[in-house]
Amino acid sequence: MRNDRYLKKVNTVWQDKAPLRLRARRFFLCGLAVLLLIGGAIAGVTRMRSQPVLLSVTVGEGSQTNHTAEDFCRAANLAPGNPLHAKTKRDIAGILLEAFPEIDTVNVQKNKKTGTIVLSVKEKVPVFYVVSGTDYYLFDKSCTLFRRTRDAGETAGRIRLIVPDDALPAMRSPLDFGDDGDYMFAFLRSVFSAPFGSHVTAVSLTKRYDLRIMLDDRIVLFWGSDEYAEQKINVLSALLMDGMFAEGRFATVDLNVPSKVTARPYAVEQDVRTAFLTP
């Protein structure tokens, strides 16, 4: 009986203190939540303060480009004060390659200590050009279009291609010869791998069976089709050693039939150019 009275008294005291324990638990949990919020805020501020900020963008030494760092910043939205790592290096390179078709390669380097981005850029080198109206279309070595300009100076030292109007492609695309594409490109490769390849200044690709080549802006080769290409190259190599083709002389050479080659001298450059362009 005595033990029962003692246990009953203890239970009564425990029950009386239950509200106090509940309040203590609530106070502890609220305090813990406040501490977590404060800790998160402090961590966020610390991260913001420690995150590197973009201070400048420069074009690295050795780059080959006509564009400025400001041009690239506008295209890629690289503004001073933004987080340095807001865009990955791959993202920046992809944006610039898309925005500037003339860029061949771009390498992006970041320095978080100095907050700088250095761009190493190389543009495509024009190898061929096509004239259409007052515009000049510049192509790289794979005959892919990457620039359209009205500055004739940009074509200096480049090889002119005469092509059908409908062969002009969209930007970043190669010349479109339709079903004759493989044939035309194979012919171009054979021309520039030939012994006279370094002397080629223009090639006419308007018709598959009326291919023409100009050497040094003064000798026109009526190549015809690409049949008997090896024989034509051999015959031409021998002819180029002839005195008629000495420096300063103008001429046309008909190579349609390698066994019956005919050559015709011209007095002035304009005449030989007319022969090259006349269908």
> How far does the chain reach from its first CA to its final CA, in angstroms?
130
Residues in the chain, pLDDT under 50: 6-7, 9-10, 13-14, 17, 41-43, 45-49
The pLDDT value recorded for residue 212 is: 95
Rounded-to-integer distance, Cα 186 and Cα 188, Å: 5
The pLDDT value recorded for residue 43 is: 45
Rounded-to-integer distance, Cα 166 and Cα 129, Å: 15
The pLDDT value recorded for residue 61 is: 86
Phi and psi of 134, rounded to 5°? -100, 10
Tokens matching residue 116: 């700088």
Taking residue 13's Cβ as centre, other Cβ atoms within 10 Å add up to: 9
Model confidence pLDDT, tens digit, residues 262-272:
888 887 777 88
Q: How far is CA 229 from the centre of its chain?
A: 34
pTM: 0.73
Tokens matching residue 157: 């030292």
The pLDDT value recorded for residue 249 is: 80
- 18-50 and 2-16 helices cross at what angle (nearest 10)? 40
